[in-house]
Amino acid sequence: MKMDRPNSGPSRSSILGLDALNFLMADVRDGVGPYLSIYLKGGLHWQSGEIGIAMAVSSIAAAICQIPAGLLVDSVRAKRLLVVISGIMVGFGSLLVVCLPKLPVIVAAQATLGAASAVIPPALAALSLGIVGRKLFPARVSRNESFNHGGNFAAAILAGTIGQRFGYQWIFYLVCLFALASATAVTLIRPQEIDHDIARGGEDKDSLTEADKTKKAAAIPISDLFKRRGLIIFLASVVLFHLGNAAMLPMAGQVLAKKHPGADIIALSGCIIAAQLVMIGVAATVGWALRRGVGRKTIFLVAFVTLPIRGILFTLTDSPWGVVAIQLLDGVAAGIFGVISIIIAADLMRSTGRFNLAQGLVALSTGLGAGASNVFAGFVVQVFGYTTGFLALAAIAVGGLAFFASFMPETEPEKEIGSTPAQGDTPIPNPV
């Protein structure tokens, strides 16, 4: 029998658990990421082809598992256990890389990491929605992303310091430590406070009529999702967003490697750290804007606008400091996308029981757009040069901006537009 959330809202323990999970899982959900290529090249002296295979497997596995992961999170009630199992899979895969650094083993480990990384984001979002409810969900997502980017920043500093001082393999041990800490943080979340119907896209019980209060969120057929015009437009917009964005930083890195050999690694590290710091502030700012009634569409348009500006600016300088400064705009765009894409998906999936499946579709669209961006930009640069490559991506971003502005409806429920905290929104309790 489903237990209702208490009227006073989620407990401090559950809120603290969500905060800790999002901070600790920042390193776990991305697995070993770019550090694997550094380890395989610098530590094991693998050939570029073998490294390419190892790096690609994780992305392919993640893409294949996105939709099944969404369906799994929608259908099971043991969402806390899913987070724990996924974290253990990442930790085990990281240990395999260090202990048995052979191509077949690392391919299997990367496939495991990719599958786990597909489950963690929808599981965290579902736990958040099920605990705080739909009204407080936008603020919760903003807070999640702030802790997530803070965790990424801390992990980048720790990984760089530990890897430099003790060796590449300790970066993988660090991921294992974060995974174990994440499993401990899950225990802070009280299972009786999770409304599993709301967690998969149902309505809050206090938003239903008396006749509907006993009904559960019945999941609609998957085929019906693709008849929803708003969802299709949004997924196409996500593809265009990443098609115009994903290849910019790798291209900038290639320019630095060509123009400033030796400074490229330091500059790219600076780009990543600076962008993460910006994302922390942006995620909090998006939550502030949402609480004051700014529409989801307006906020996403701000992210879209930064893309062509960034592409044009990259054509004007090849200075390492200039590239770092321009990359701050990526912190703005990515910070907005990380928050608003989850909220729009929740809006579009209201009462469908398919919220987490929609998250899988968004993640799949992200991967398709990013992959196509790198392939497209690579061929354009090869034939026409870097300046044309940046301008081509900027042009795609402008097209995506026009498409989203023209066809995407505002998804915020009408009764919530223009609402403020003074009109009845209850703030999420601060555990501190």
Residue 19: CATH number of its domain: 1.20.1250.20
Q: Is residue 263 located within the same domain as residue 407?
A: yes
The count of C-alpha atoms lying within 13 angstroms of the C-alpha of 161, restricted to the half-sphere facing its C-beta, is: 7
Question: 394 with 351, same domain?
Answer: yes
- 3-state SS class at 413: coil
Query: Does a structural domain hold residue 421?
Result: no
Residue 125 forms part of a structural domain: yes
Instruction: Determine the Cα–Cα distance for residues 332 and 324; give it in Å rounded to an integer.
Output: 13
Same domain, 275 and 308: yes
Do residue 17 and residue 65 come from a single domain? yes
- Is residue 397 a part of any domain in this protein? yes
Residue 39 within any structural domain of the chain? yes
- Contacts of residue 5, Cβ cutoff 8 Å, sequence gap at least 6: 131, 133, 193, 195
User: 366 and 249 in one domain?
Assistant: yes
Is there a single domain that holds both residue 151 and residue 297?
A: no
Report the candidate in 128, 155, 144 with the shortest Cα–Cα distance to residue 280: 144
pLDDT for residue 420: 42
- Secondary-structure breakdown of the chain: helix, strand, coil percentages, each rounded to the nearest 5: 75, 0, 25
- 1 shares a domain with 81: yes
* Structural domain boundaries enclosing 11: 1-198
Tokens of 169: 């393999």
Domain assignment of residue 424, yes or no? no
233 and 155 inside one domain:
no
Asked if residue 34 is part of any domain, the answer here is yes
Radius of gyration of the chain (CA): 21
Phi, psi of 417 (to 5 degrees): -65, 130
User: Residue 362 domain-assigned?
Assistant: yes
Phi-psi region of 273 (alpha: psi -120 to 50; beta: other; left: phi over 0): alpha
Distance CA 229, CA 407 (A): 10
From first to last of its 432 residues, what are the pLDDT tens digits of the chain? 344 444 567 899 999 999 999 998 876 666 566 667 667 877 788 876 677 777 778 878 888 898 899 999 988 899 999 999 998 998 898 899 889 889 899 989 988 988 988 899 999 999 999 999 988 899 999 999 899 888 888 887 887 778 778 877 888 898 889 888 998 899 999 999 999 889 887 766 555 454 444 445 467 888 888 889 999 999 999 999 999 998 888 788 778 767 777 655 566 667 777 888 898 899 989 999 998 989 999 999 999 999 999 999 999 988 888 888 898 998 999 999 999 999 999 899 888 888 888 888 998 898 888 888 888 888 888 889 889 999 999 999 999 999 999 999 998 876 544 444 433 344 445 554
Co-location of 267 and 392 in the same domain: yes
Q: Which of 182, 198, 214 is the last residue of a domain?
A: 198
Closest residue by Cα to residue 137 from 285, 420, 347, 422: 347
User: What is the model's pLDDT at position 29?
Assistant: 66
Count of domains forming the chain: 2
pTM of the entire predicted model: 0.76
In a shared domain, residues 44 and 106: yes
Please tell me whether residues 246 and 188 are part of one structural domain: no
**Residue 422 pLDDT:** 36
Main-chain dihedrals φ then ψ at residue 246, nearest 5 degrees: -60, -40
Inter-axis angle of helices 320-348 and 264-291, nearest 10: 40
Q: Does 272 share its domain with 167?
A: no
Residue 431 lies in a domain: no
Using the 8-state DSSP alphabet, how is residue 192 labeled?
Answer: G
Kindly list the distances between the CA atom of residue 298 and the CA atoms of 174, 209, 264, 275, 335, in Å, as whole numbers in the listed order. Answer: 39, 31, 36, 22, 15
